[in-house]
Structure 1
Amino acid sequence: MKFKIAFTLLGLVFAFNAASAQDCRVTLSLFNESAKVENFSDAYPKYKELLENCSDYNILIYQRGEKMLEEMIEVAETEERKQELIQEYIDNQTMRLEKFPGETKAGDVFADIAMIKYKYEVGTLEERLEAFEKIVEVDKENFSSPVAIYAYFRIANDLNDAGERDIQFLFDKYDQVIALIETQENDKALEAKPLIEKQEAQEELTSRESRILKNSEIYLRNYTKIKESVNSLLGSKADCDNLIPLYKKNFDENKDNVQWLKNANERLSAKDCTQDPLFFKVSEALHQKEPSASSAYSLGQLAEAEGDRAKALEYYNEAAELETSEIRKARIYYRIANNYKDRGSYSQARNYYRKALQSKPSMGVAYLKIADMYAKSANDCGNTVFEKRAVYWLAADYAARAGRVDPSISSNANETAESYRARAPQKSDIFQEEAAGKKISFSNCWIRESVVVPNI
């Protein structure tokens, strides 16, 4: 008897749950259809019903709710109603993360919340800043929206303009924001690199690969624009005329403060404020207190300025070994590479340009430098006139790749690539040599790479 009662109760529970799931499915379907056609007067009540009775049923509730609330905020008739909808939007995003954490990136959610506060000026500047700082704190790796990254720095700049935060705060935020941008640039450049190389080898991309490459290049262009905007905002606040008096005034009281010395050293070095005696005082004090990548790099700059290339390279290599940041390490390798290039040591220079690219795949200028060295070596490579001129195809590939991973130099890179192609064998030369599609190897010179002759 007890077994029959328990079985009956279990059946009733199952039937109730099945009916509830059916109700949720029907309500969600009706809500989705109304929201898609922007019939919000019908969609909104169903959305509220779903939140109350079916909040963990399907992520679509929150995905469609996000879009609906964005539109409703835009057309809200009163400021009071707009503020209510903004809070509902924030609640929608928060609940999505809570109910569907496996299908939701925390960084995206907190970026959405920060951006809605930024767009509609919700709260004080400090409160808006905190909303963006939460993204960095919780999920920095997924803080990828170019517009949100710019908004973050814009708020920091506004706080500085209002006199609520000092210039050092702004410098710190600038460094943080540039690091965020360059991290994302590297990710996208790394994603694009094998696909660009596949195209250069005249292999056809799959439709999926084409989409990935197109998306990566769009993001790279957007990050370039945002970086330019951030630098424009900082403007003259970070030039040597402002930095040197700032750090000179505070040097004596901070000459034993390692963190202060690091900050001053990095800022002066980044802006090439290396001519003033203050730079040497800061660098030397830092290297004595705590030898680091920054202090070694700065001493390398000073040695280079004095014409002691050997000493400069010694310091730069020390800096590269000590450096833990891949982006800063790339800059050091790039500087070493330039030193070797200027001395005509092309093979050594290329090694360091490649090291720079390993640390920072979006450093397009390194590809451009390799292209230049290849072009200058054309007469030294290949066994025939045709093969010597074929070096320019290889140089053109590197130049074109520079613009694709770093859109900020795309105009110069593309012009350079075209000039190299103009010096390479033309269609008539390829036809006469019957060389279309053949691989030419440059194993008799330092280049030691190959290129595929274009099909005509």
Structure 2
Amino acid sequence: MKTFLRISLLFVSIVMTAITVAQAQRVIKGTVYMEGEPAAGITVEAHKGSSMMTSFDGKYEIEADAKSKYIKFTFIDESQKLDIEGKSGDVFDFAFSGKLPSEGGNEEVNSDEINLGTAEELVKAQDKDFMNELSMYREFFKQDDYKSAFPHWKNLYTKYPKSSSNLYIHGGKMYESMLEKASTDAERDKLIEEYMKLYDKRIKYFGQKGYVLGRKGTSWLKYKLDPSREQSPEGADLIAIHKAGYEWVNESITLQGAETEPPVLILFMNTTVALFKLGEMPKEQVVKNYERSVEVANSIIAANEDPKTTEQTQETVLPYIETLFGKSGAADCEALVNIYAAEYENKKDDAEFIKSMLRRLSRAKCTESDLFAQATERQYELDPSAEAAFNMARRYLKKDDMEKAREYYQMAIDQETDNELLATYYYERGLLRYARLNNLVGAREDARKALQIKSDYCDANMLIGNIYVAASQKFEGSALEKSAVFWLACDYFAKARQGEDCSFDAAENLAKYKKYFPNKEEAFMEGLQSGSTYKVGGWINENTKVRF
């Protein structure tokens, strides 16, 4: 809130010009409106008096001479006058465009009624004002001379709001050009406010509310959170920005469904996670929004005939949503179990729902919950697939039934056709062999198979490194031969460190086990030079590099 007030005050102080006139005898005040809403960024100047610029509430207060004839209102390059000569009272509300909320209009200035004709109808009726403004605006716009085009566009936008949807498309382009060139936050905020009103007016006259709200939310978040701003929003101001953007993209998704523009889903999850981290959204709602985002993304893929949109959704949007959710801090067991427990009771015969639920519980490491145990057995009853067998293997592992666990792991491996899942099955069976059965050779075999399928599988590299550390304790040979195993183990920890999920643990292991490397004296006695190839023998039978 402090930042919001600071920006508002700065906005006013920068643009306000206090021209004190010695003979000023009147203090005139009022509110300026555009399309029925308070208008910011309007310069209000009294003839023979002072001037100021309106802030977000649209209010103004200026001094005027007893002989002042008019008040001039200016927005960018367009000016309008209100005649006050001979008028009593000191309060004058003014509609720069549209009508005053309380009086239905501002007859002194807006003598011409708004014309809701289409461009075709207006040309057919030979509306000279429309045709002249249209010709001038188009000519300048084609030349990218937006400064010259804008006043003519503004007249069309104000007086002929239903003439063409291009008014709103081109208007958006001009506002974005001005925003890119804006030099102050106050100037940006004034332009953003007008830009948002353009979206509202487009909905009013041309519909497409869901589509337009998605674009409105996108523009709002882009320019309100622009890193080039003088002052980054914070506190209540930052919350308000995210809340507004969230509401618009949320409604857009509700209205658009499978026709939602894919980037809008990313913004929906971005604002969701931001509001959660700002303490404005419970984690259960984050989970629901994630579920909704995935559901809509899948409906876009199923319904869309455009291969580019399908590819964008599959390869960019869905992975990004998964990453956002995974790192949000909301994807914990407590939240997921709270969400899914009630749903499971109603959908325990829905194999697809159970599969999806188990995957998300597994990613969040919620495999110890009663819900996971119940759903695992139910999944296998409904659909004894590879994935169901894999979950059953985990189930028996927790029961310490190693024989059954191995049986179900093998069933999962034999049935699975998805390489990503198959790599996981091999890795987990390898982990079982290493940690519970002390079968180091078998564990390494499974880890290697996982890496053959998925070469950057950091967990599998970590497993082999840990297997070699364990092997060093019983490795037969000289002191150097035993300690050389740590060279090889650290080779695998170094590979694992390249994976984001393993980087921290791998770095810790590298630091921990480097101290067990053979020393220079031992290596010298064996004729080994730093950087030379060394083969670790025995069942390990693998090459590494000499280093100290």
Q: Name the TM-score class by shorter chain.
A: 0.5 to 0.7
- Structure richer in helix, relative to its length: 1
SS of aligned partner of 1:441: strand
Is 1:368–1:398's contact at 8 Å kept on the other side of the alignment?
Answer: yes
**In angstroms, what is the RMSD of aligned CA positions?**
5.2
One-letter amino acid of the structure 1 residue matched with residue 348 of structure 2: K
- Are residues 1:339 and 2:432 paired? yes
The one-letter code matched in structure 1 to 2:511 is E
Gaps of 5+ in 1: 1-40, 42-47, 56-64, 89-108, 188-222
Larger % of strand: which? 2
Question: Which residue matches 2:527?
Answer: 434
What is the SS of the residue equivalent to 1:291? coil
2:273 corresponds in structure 1 to 154
In 1: Cα distance, 2:184 partner to 2:421 partner: 42
Match of 1:207? Answer: none
**Does 2:142 correspond to 1:52?**
yes
Alpha carbons 2:243, 2:271 under 8 Å: kept: no
Q: Structure 2 matches for 1:373-388, cutoff 5 A?
A: 373-378=467-472, 384-388=478-482
Q: 1:128: which partner in 2?
A: 249
**Residue correspondence of structure 1 range 251-290 to structure 2 within 5 A:** 251=345, 253-271=346-364, 278-290=371-383
Change in 2 beyond 3 A, CA 1:379/1:300: closer
Whichever residue aligns with residue 483 of structure 2, its letter is R
Question: Tell me, what secondary structure is at the counterpart of 1:367?
Answer: helix
2:396–2:405 Cα contact (<8 Å) kept: yes
Pick the aligned partner of 2:189 from 57, 61, 79: 79
Single out whichever of 124-133 and 419-428 deviates more from structure 2: 124-133
* Residue correspondences, number: 328
Aligned to 1:116: 222
Which of 412, 427, 451 is equivalent to 2:505? 412
Distance change in 2, residues 1:234/1:379 (3 Å): closer
Provide the residue aligned with 1:447 in structure 2: 540
Decide whether the 8 Å contact of 1:286 with 1:295 is kept in 2: yes
Paired residues of 2:461 and 2:495 also in contact (CA < 8 A) = yes
- 1:364 matches 2:458: yes
Relative distance call for 1:405 and 1:275 in structure 2 (3 A) is closer
Give 1:391's match in structure 2, choosing from 454, 471, 485. 485
Q: CA deviation at 1:349?
A: 1.3
- Label 1:118 to 1:446 Cα distance change in 2 as closer, same or farther (>3 A): farther
Q: Encode CA deviations 1:402-438: one digit per residue, 9 max, x unaligned.
A: 22322x5434322321232211112333334331132
Residues 3-402 of structure 1 aligned to structure 2 (within 5 Å): 52-53=142-143, 69-70=179-180, 72=182, 75-77=185-187, 79-83=189-193, 116=222, 119=225, 121=242, 125=246, 127-129=248-250, 151=270, 154=273, 169-170=288-289, 172=291, 229-230=327-328, 232-235=329-332, 237-238=334-335, 240=337, 242-243=338-339, 245-247=341-343, 250-251=344-345, 253-271=346-364, 278-323=371-416, 327-342=420-435, 343-358=437-452, 363-378=457-472, 384-402=478-496
Shift of 1:401: 2.5
8 Å CA contact 2:242–2:275 kept in 1: the answer is no
User: Deviations 1:373-425 (Å, cap 9, x if unpaired)?
Assistant: 1122236557543233222111112123222322x543432232123221111
Residue 73 of structure 1 contacts residue 82 of structure 1 at CA under 8 Å; is this kept in 2?
no
Aligned to 1:206: none
CA contact (8 A) 1:117 1:128 kept: no
Distance 1:280 1:381, change over 3 A: closer
With normalisation by structure 1, the TM-score equals: 0.55
> Secondary structure of the residue that 1:434 maps to in structure 2?
coil
Gaps of 5+ in 2: 1-75, 77-137, 146-174, 199-214, 226-240, 297-311
TM-score (norm 2): 0.47
SS at match of 2:497: helix
2: CA distance between counterparts of 1:317 and 1:233?
A: 34
CA distance in 1, matches of 2:482, 2:392: 41
Cα deviation for residue 354 of structure 1 reads 3.2
Q: Is the 8 A contact 1:122 1:128 kept in 2?
A: no
Q: Which amino acid aligns with 2:394?
A: Q
Comparing 276-285 and 114-123, the one that deviates more:
114-123
Deviation at 1:311, TM superposition (A): 1.9
Identity %: 24
C-alpha deviations, 1:227-255, integer Å up to 9, x for none? Answer: 7741x134465254x257424xx52x433
Q: Is the 8 A contact 2:287 2:335 kept in 1?
A: no
1:451 CA drift (Å): 0.9
* Greater RCO, CA 8 A, separation 6+: 1
Corresponding residue for residue 170 of structure 2 = none
Describe the superposition over 1:84-141 as per-residue Cα deviations: whole angstroms up to 9, x where unpaired. 56899xxxxxxxxxxxxxxxxxxxx9x986962784559652542588999x99998x
